[in-house]
Amino acid sequence: MDEPSEVALEDYARVVTRAQAAEAVPAAGEPGMIDGVHLCGAARPLSPATIEDIEGFARSLLAGRAGGLGWS
């Protein structure tokens, strides 16, 4: 995942969860891959649907289908 995609994922996760901040967690030993997103101050507990939504967005970024930063 390139840096602009990583930023888009962080922003998307932050907005969807209404978190105060979000940071992509790099995968150990796998450059360009993300293990998850660390959220700070999420407004509510994450539902399985919200988690799937964020994971789906990450998959679409990796596949080049998310449309860059134009998701918002």
pTM of structure: 0.83
pLDDT score recorded for residue 65: 60
Per residue in 10-45, pLDDT (tens digit) is: 999 999 999 999 999 999 998 888 899 999 998 888
- Mean pLDDT for the stretch of residues 2-12: 91
Distance CA 36, CA 59 (A): 12
Residue 69 has what pLDDT?
A: 55
CA atoms within 13 A on the CB side of 70: 5
Percent of the chain clearing pLDDT 70 (strictly above)? 89
Query: Does position 1 have pLDDT exceeding 90, yes or no?
Result: no
Sort 37 into a burial class: Cβ within 10 Å, 0-12 / 13-18 / 19+. Answer: buried
Largest CA distance in the chain: 32
Q: How many CB atoms lie within 10 A of CB 65?
A: 9
